[in-house]
Structure 1
Amino acid sequence: MFDWFRILFTPTETPEMTQSLIVLFMAISIGFFAGKLKIGNISLGVSAVMFVGLFLGHLGYGMNAELIQFVREFGLILFVYGIGIQVGPTFFSSFKKEGLVFNALGVGTVFLGGIITYFIHILANIKVENAVGLMSGSVTNTPGLGAAKSTLLEIQKQLNLPLDHFSDPAIAYAITYPIGVFGIIIMIILAKNFLKIDLSNEVVLLHKKNKEAENKIIRQKCRVTKSEVIGKTFKQVFKEFNIEHVIISRQKQSGTKVVYSPSLDSIIKDKDVLMVVAKQQDVDKFVNLVGKISTDLFIESEDDVTTKIISVTKKTATHKTLAQLDLYNQYDVKVTRVIRSGLEILAQPSLELYYGDTLMVVGSRPSIHEAEKIIGNSTKILLEPDFLSLFGGLIFGVIIGSIPIMIPSLPVPLKLGLAAGPLLAALFISRYGGVGVIHSYINNGAIHFMKDFGICLFFAAVGIKAGHGFTDNFVANDGWMLIYYGCFITFVPLILLVLISRFVFKLNFYQMVGIMSGSYTDPAALAFSTKYLDSDIPNQSYATVYPLVTISRILVAQLLILLFAS
């Protein structure tokens, strides 16, 4: 009577679609549960899905061949696209600060790992596809493995090679993956102890170095007392004293309770109270110029003018500069700050607005209500998924990844593939707010879901496929030796990264930990470090190096396959 139920959960050599889906869902659900289990402060996180997939594959469970390939590629695309959309805005701006050093260290680590992999391939006589799988697993780089497998399939098609001509790099990847996960965690702990890091002192030094208080946009009340500015307009004062990047959101004259949002032509009077919005250093400069800090409370009254947060959801405001919208002259509403992907940006006239941007505005309630008709402010629209933008962006990414790059002497053209292509597309779209009808806004919950869902699909597919005959493959490929070789790829670049970061570039330990995790594209190590160090500071340097490192690892994996695969 229940034979149908037994068949669904019984391993078979030729699984049907329903059985394949059951196996996929089992790998993800059990793996997600296992990933939450902790040993001390360490947990496998979403990477546990791959190990559960390996175990299920080892037990004889499998998936339809076409389905497993689709699941693997689609999962990888979703994961890297989500990463690109998330870190795009900070990725480009980071190069203006320490981003060049961070990325140079990260990319240097990638190429050093590639060189070590090449020597392992030559000296240990390991097939290059296995060496690349070994490299990808030792640095926990999933997109690199995906790119390697895609390149191998392309070579097989172009040269009409049999399907079993190349070994599956996922075997070596699965064997060495734990070394990559735990190796970085071990290095973080050892580096902290070896370098005798005082975490509290590192925080103080980092705050002093970056002058975080100056980089954060703040608001400050001040009272006008200096004769040099009395009787002049804000435009005259800004021009005469070279004041830039300062916004006056409110003005109140002495002896009154009336608060209004001034224009550049408003006149500054003696004992006026002003609300200044700018970065700390610009606020200090302006306050010293016009007078002193004020403790007046009436200027914060919401009776005459109010502050409101509104979101850009209409085409009439998207890709328009604040100067083009001219909200102050049209509606008597002043924009003070724009929040984009968690970043606060001072509302300069030349700033272009993107779909999903959040504006902090000051004005009367009726005026703000009128401005909302142009800007939108529909939270319902922002919560609804925009599949046109999502899948349009994915199409754009797949096209980029499919462009053949002809390089002399290589058997097939080099392609960025289904990992780097969508990543580059997402970075580009996120940087410029969109392309045509495709916009970059995806709410945070959707991004996290897309990333986790994508990587779960990929890990499950890779694990289930690699799990078939895993024990035999471990023995056949001398798994213990692969782990031994993997230790060189994991630890040698990390040790050099720690030494160069600390003693040459004098980087803060929190930043260095983020670079270590980002260089190995290891979210598990990042999650561990933020809890181990009780700080989110490593997230910043992780996001800075992740995109370029991911692209570099994809290219290194492809080049090794194209140059040395036989």
Structure 2
Amino acid sequence: MFDWLKILLLPAENPTVTQSIVAIMLAIGMGIFFGRLKLGKITFGVSAVMFTGLLLGHFGYRINQQILDFIRDFGLILFVYGIGLQVGPSFFSSFRNEGLKFNILAVSTVLLGGVVTVILYQFTGLKIEDLVGIMSGSVTNTPGLGAAKNTIEEIKNSFPERDFNDPTIGYAITYPLGVFGIIGTIIFSKFLLKIHNDTEMRQFRISKINRELPLIHKKMRVTNPEFFGKTIHQVMKELGKEIVISRLKHSGSEAVKSPTLDMELRERDVLMLVGIEKEVDEFIEKVGRPSTDLFIESDSDLRKKNIFVTKDSAIHKNLAELDLFNTYDLKVTRVFRAGREILPRPSLELYYGDKLRVIGSDEAIAEVEKIIGNSEKKLLEPDFLSLFGGLFLGVLLGSIPIVIPSLPVPIKLGFAAGPLIVALLISRYGGISFIHSYINNGAIYFMKDFGICLFFAAVGIHAGEGFYENFIKYNGWNWLLFGSAITFIPLVAMVIVGRFLMKINFLQLAGIMSGSYTDPAALSFSTNYLDSDIPIQSYAQVYPLVTIFRIFVASLLILIFS
């Protein structure tokens, strides 16, 4: 009676499309469930899908080959594209601060791992594709494995007689080692270096105050006779400060204005300043003194509101072109973009999804909303034209053959690096033509996690087929030993160089370790273990460049040594 259910749910050697989909759903569903279980302070999250896939593959579950290839590649594309959109803005802006130092350390770690892999290739007699799989698993780098498999397919297309081992086997054997290796290194280095969370947090806050300069607002009263009768433009030019005077109130009056640059300052005028704290304090010191006037904060004449950029009439135009103040008597005091707070300079170009904080009358705000858009509902709706347009450009870029002399086939960025680079560029420049960079956070997290679940399910079930036999056949204990060298040698070197030579805060160093090995499970552990979100910031700063280098290292090792 229930034969149809048995056929649907039980393993099949030659599965139909429906049976393949069921196997994928089982792997993802079980993986998400087990990934939420805690082992001490460790949760595996979506990476547990890889292990449930291995288990299902071991017990006979299979995926139709054409479906497997599609699910694996499409999942990888979604994952890396989502990562690129998520970390792109902070990735580029971080290079102005300490991001360059972090990325030099992280990329050096990647290259050292490649050097260790080459040394193992010279002395172990293993095929390079096996060692690249071991390397990818030992550093928990999924895009590197995807790039290696794509490169092998390219070589097979040009040289059909060539025979390659599947790098997924080495990846599956050493992946748990990579996860626990990073976590173990964080624990032991914290113990050996005698790290105290409170001390590191205090030092980080001090360095952040000196390094990052958030925007603040302060009130002041004009008392210096030297500036009486001068226009705001003259005062700004004379002092050379990049601040915004968002409100002005004359002494003895309760009327609050949004001042123009040609407005003259009077004795005992009260100003509301917006800018970097150091520059605001210096401005107040030279022009007058701090004020406690409450009338300037009154909303009787002026109102403060946040407006979202959602209309084409404002996208990719700078504030000077829109000229909102002279046209509508409305002043922009701040711009929020991808979690960053930006001072609204006239040359600032607006992107889709930017949030403007404006001050003006209700009528002015209503008129400006017609130009800017301010449709929060539109931001919540998925823009599939932008999404799939970006994915198309990523696949296109990844498919361009790059001819390098002496290599057997042209190298390609592949489905991992191509979409990642396009996503980074789109997020950096706010979009390309009709393709916007803005996707709400919920959609990005869904795309990223859904993509990696599809990839892990496909790779895990495929690798689970004969996993035990392959472990015995290839002497998996030796592979774990080789993987340990690739995992721990670069990690130990990173801790020594990062802590003692570069003087990097340990909370940030833990994020760099997790980011260099592209390991979300280690990142989740480090935030809980160190009781801080600081590792997330440094993880995001190094992840994109590390991913690109891991993709190139995996592809080049296959091309050079195969």
TM-score of Structure 1 vs Structure 2, range by shorter chain: over 0.9
Show structure 1 runs of 4+ deviating over 6 A.
Answer: none
Secondary structure, in 3 states, of the residue corresponding to 1:328? helix
Percentage identity across paired residues of the two chains: 61
The amino acid of 2:385's aligned partner reads L
Residue 395 (structure 2) pairs with residue 398 (structure 1): yes
Spell out, residue by residue over 1:371-411, the C-alpha distance to the aligned partner (whole angstroms, 9 max, x if none): 00000001111111111100000111111111111111111
Secondary structure, in 3 states, of the residue corresponding to 1:319? coil
Aligned 8 A contact 2:334 2:343 in 1? yes
Match of 1:3 in 2: 3
Match of 1:67 in 2: 67
Aligned 8 A contact 2:508 2:538 in 1? yes
Judged with a 3 Å threshold, the aligned counterparts in structure 2 of structure 1 residues 480 and 214 are, in CA distance, closer, same or farther, namely closer
Q: How many Å separate the matches in 2 of 1:334 and 1:369?
A: 13
Match of 2:161 in 1: 161
Q: How many Å separate the matches in 2 of 1:21 and 1:13?
A: 14
Spell out, residue by residue over 1:408-463, the C-alpha distance to the aligned partner (whole angstroms, 9 max, x if none): 11111111110000000001111111111111010000000010000000000000
Write the mapping of 1:109-128 to structure 2, written as runs, cut at 5 A.
109-128=109-128
The amino acid of 1:536's aligned partner reads D
Of 255-264 and 362-371, the range deviating more from structure 2: 255-264
1:437 to 434, 438, 449: 434
Write the mapping of 1:97-496 to structure 2, written as runs, cut at 5 A.
97-161=97-161, 165-211=163-209, 215-243=213-241, 245-496=242-493
The amino acid of 2:28's aligned partner reads I
Query: How many aligned positions are there?
Result: 562
What displacement does 1:142 show? 0.2
Aligned 8 A contact 2:137 2:173 in 1? yes
Q: How many Å separate the matches in 2 of 1:31 and 1:214?
A: 40
What displacement does 1:464 show? 0.4
Of 276-285 and 449-458, the range deviating more from structure 2: 276-285
Secondary structure, in 3 states, of the residue corresponding to 1:43? coil
Aligned 8 A contact 2:315 2:352 in 1? yes
What displacement does 1:232 show? 1.1
Q: How many Å separate the matches in 2 of 1:475 and 1:531?
A: 37
The amino acid of 1:549's aligned partner reads V
Aligned 8 A contact 2:97 2:211 in 1? no
Please tell me the root mean square deviation across aligned C-alpha atoms, in Å. 1.0
Q: How many Å separate the matches in 2 of 1:476 and 1:347?
A: 64
Q: How many Å separate the matches in 2 of 1:40 and 1:255?
A: 65
The amino acid of 1:511's aligned partner reads Q
Q: How many Å separate the matches in 1 of 2:283 and 2:239?
A: 9
Match of 1:24 in 2: 24
Aligned 8 A contact 2:309 2:315 in 1? yes
Q: How many Å separate the matches in 2 of 1:9 and 1:451?
A: 28
Aligned 8 A contact 1:175 1:483 in 2? yes
The amino acid of 1:557's aligned partner reads A
Q: How many Å separate the matches in 2 of 1:238 and 1:500?
A: 45
Secondary structure, in 3 states, of the residue corresponding to 1:249? strand
Of 189-198 and 72-81, the range deviating more from structure 2: 189-198
Secondary structure, in 3 states, of the residue corresponding to 1:231? coil
Q: How many Å separate the matches in 2 of 1:22 and 1:508?
A: 47
Spell out, residue by residue over 1:329-360, the C-alpha distance to the aligned partner (whole angstroms, 9 max, x if none): 11111111111111111111000000111111
Secondary structure, in 3 states, of the residue corresponding to 1:228? helix
Q: How many Å separate the matches in 1 of 2:466 and 2:210?
A: 54
What displacement does 1:488 show? 0.7
The amino acid of 1:200's aligned partner reads D
What displacement does 1:198 show? 2.1
Secondary structure, in 3 states, of the residue corresponding to 2:311? coil
Question: Structure 2: any 5+ residue segments left out of the alignment?
Answer: none
Of 286-295 and 444-453, the range deviating more from structure 2: 286-295
Q: How many Å separate the matches in 2 of 1:193 and 1:278?
A: 42
What displacement does 1:26 show? 0.7
What displacement does 1:193 show? 1.0
Spell out, residue by residue over 1:121-173, the C-alpha distance to the aligned partner (whole angstroms, 9 max, x if none): 221111110100000000000000000000001111111236xx211111110
Secondary structure, in 3 states, of the residue corresponding to 1:188? helix
Aligned 8 A contact 2:76 2:452 in 1? yes
Secondary structure, in 3 states, of the residue corresponding to 2:225? coil
Judged with a 3 Å threshold, the aligned counterparts in structure 2 of structure 1 residues 124 and 250 are, in CA distance, closer, same or farther, namely same
Secondary structure, in 3 states, of the residue corresponding to 1:515? helix
The amino acid of 1:183's aligned partner reads G
Judged with a 3 Å threshold, the aligned counterparts in structure 2 of structure 1 residues 430 and 214 are, in CA distance, closer, same or farther, namely closer
Secondary structure, in 3 states, of the residue corresponding to 1:73? helix
The amino acid of 2:137's aligned partner reads G
The amino acid of 1:188's aligned partner reads I
Q: TM-score, normalised by structure 2?
A: 0.99
Match of 2:50 in 1: 50
Q: How many Å separate the matches in 2 of 1:50 and 1:322?
A: 48
Secondary structure, in 3 states, of the residue corresponding to 2:357? strand
The amino acid of 2:536's aligned partner reads N
Residue 501 (structure 2) pairs with residue 507 (structure 1): no
Q: How many Å separate the matches in 1 of 2:342 and 2:210?
A: 14
The amino acid of 1:321's aligned partner reads N
Judged with a 3 Å threshold, the aligned counterparts in structure 2 of structure 1 residues 451 and 223 are, in CA distance, closer, same or farther, namely same
Q: How many Å separate the matches in 1 of 2:474 and 2:269?
A: 79
2:551 to 541, 547, 554: 554
Q: How many Å separate the matches in 1 of 2:211 and 2:264?
A: 30
Aligned 8 A contact 1:140 1:180 in 2? yes
What displacement does 1:270 show? 1.4
Aligned 8 A contact 1:214 1:280 in 2? no
Of 261-270 and 309-318, the range deviating more from structure 2: 261-270
Q: How many Å separate the matches in 1 of 2:205 and 2:228?
A: 37
Q: How many Å separate the matches in 2 of 1:554 and 1:393?
A: 20
What displacement does 1:246 show? 0.2
Aligned 8 A contact 1:139 1:520 in 2? yes
Match of 1:535 in 2: 532
Q: How many Å separate the matches in 2 of 1:212 and 1:45?
A: 36
What displacement does 1:214 show? 5.7
Aligned 8 A contact 1:214 1:279 in 2? no
What displacement does 1:509 show? 0.8
Aligned 8 A contact 2:239 2:283 in 1? no
Spell out, residue by residue over 1:256-312, the C-alpha distance to the aligned partner (whole angstroms, 9 max, x if none): 221111111111111111111101111111111211111222211111111100100
Aligned 8 A contact 1:311 1:358 in 2? yes
Aligned 8 A contact 1:389 1:439 in 2? yes
What displacement does 1:213 show? 8.4
Secondary structure, in 3 states, of the residue corresponding to 2:227? coil
